[in-house]
Amino acid sequence: MIKKVLNITRVKQDLLRLVASGEDEIVITKDYEPVGMLIPRAPQMDHAAPVLMVLGAKPCRPEIREACFAALRETAGRFSRIIFVYSRETEGYLDSFADLDIWAVETEKKEQPIITSLKAALSCLAAGDRWFMVDFLNRPASPETLSALVDCLPQATTQGKGMIVPLRNGSPSHPLAFSLPYKQRIVRTRKELGIPHIIRRHKNDIFYYNLPDNE
C-alpha cells in the first residue's frame, strides 16, 4: 500500500476533503518528521454483537466503579466494542481500562441530563451496528445481567421489537438496549425530555425481559 506524505500545514488546509474521502493512508509531517497519520475508514461490517455504552461523566465511589470495571472485563467478549463517556473529572478512570479495547468520548456537559452523554456515545455508532446497550458507571449492571440481555437480543429481533427493557421484581430497570434506528430518534429528542420520553413514545416496541431474582 502506498502512503501519501503531507505536511501538517497542507493537511490543515485540506482536512475536510481528506477526511471525507477516507480512501488513502496519509503520513503527516511537521518540522521534517512524521508526527501522525490519517487512516482510511474501515469497510462497514454487520455486527451481530451489540455495542456497550458506559456513561461515566460523573465521579462515583471507588467500590462502585471497580464493580463496573470488573463487569466490563468479564463480559467484553460479548460486545463488538465498548464506548466510555467521560468528563474532565472522570478522565483518570480511563487508566483502569488499559487492558480493554475502549472508545473514549469526552463530554463537556456532565451536569446536563443523561441523554446528553448518550448522544455523545452515539457518535461512535456505525451503519453496521444492530444494537447498542446503555449502562451507567454509578449503577453498573452485573456480568450476569449484561450477558442475559445480550442473550435475549435474537428473541427481541425475531419478535420485531427494537427496544429491550429489563424488569427487576416487576419494575423497569437497566441497562436498556436499543436497535440502531433509535440512534436518530435519541439524537432528535430534546434533552429536557430524556430517555423516559423515548420509552413512553415507543412503548409498543419494547421487549421486556424478567431478570432472575439473584441478578
Q: Is the predicted pLDDT of residue 215 greater than 60, yes or no?
A: no
pLDDT band at 46 (very low <50, low <70, confident <90, very high): low
pLDDT score, position 214? 57
- Same domain flag for 127 and 195: yes
Only one residue has cell 441478578, namely 215
pLDDT score, position 112? 86
Determine the longest span between alpha carbons in the chain, in angstroms: 65
Tens digit of pLDDT for each residue in 49-100?
Answer: 999 999 999 999 999 999 999 999 999 999 999 999 999 999 999 988 878 8
pLDDT score, position 15? 83
Q: Is the predicted pLDDT of residue 119 greater than 90, yes or no?
A: yes
Name 5's Cβ contacts closer than 8 Å, sequence gap at least 6. 26, 27, 29, 34
Q: Is the predicted pLDDT of residue 128 greater than 80, yes or no?
A: yes
- Assign 196 to helix, strand or coil: helix
- Same domain flag for 22 and 57: no
Q: Which pTM does this prediction carry?
A: 0.84
Q: Is the predicted pLDDT of residue 183 greater than 80, yes or no?
A: yes
pLDDT score, position 212? 76
Q: What is the number of structural domains in the chain?
A: 2
In a domain? residue 192: yes
Q: ω before 196 within 30° of 0 (cis)? A: no
Q: How far apart are CA 104 and CA 188, in angstroms?
A: 23
- Same domain flag for 116 and 24: no
pLDDT score, position 47? 66
- Same domain flag for 117 and 15: no
What residue ranges in the chain does DSSP mark as E strands?
A: 4-7, 26-30, 33-38, 51-55, 81-86, 102-106, 131-136, 163-168, 171-172, 176-179, 206-210
Q: In CATH, what number is assigned to the domain containing residue 75?
A: 3.90.550.10
pLDDT score, position 75? 96
Q: Measured between alpha carbons, how far is residue 128 from residues 87, 143, 183, 193 in Å?
A: 28, 25, 13, 28
In a domain? residue 92: yes
pLDDT score, position 21? 74
- Same domain flag for 32 and 68: no
In a domain? residue 44: no
In a domain? residue 43: no
Host domain of residue 27 = 4-38
Q: Find the helix or strand (DSSP H, E) in which 127 lies.
A: none
- Same domain flag for 23 and 86: no
Q: Is the predicted pLDDT of residue 122 greater than 80, yes or no?
A: yes
DSSP 32: T
Only one residue has cell 501538517, namely 8
Tens digit of pLDDT for each residue in 151-166?
Answer: 999 999 999 999 999 9
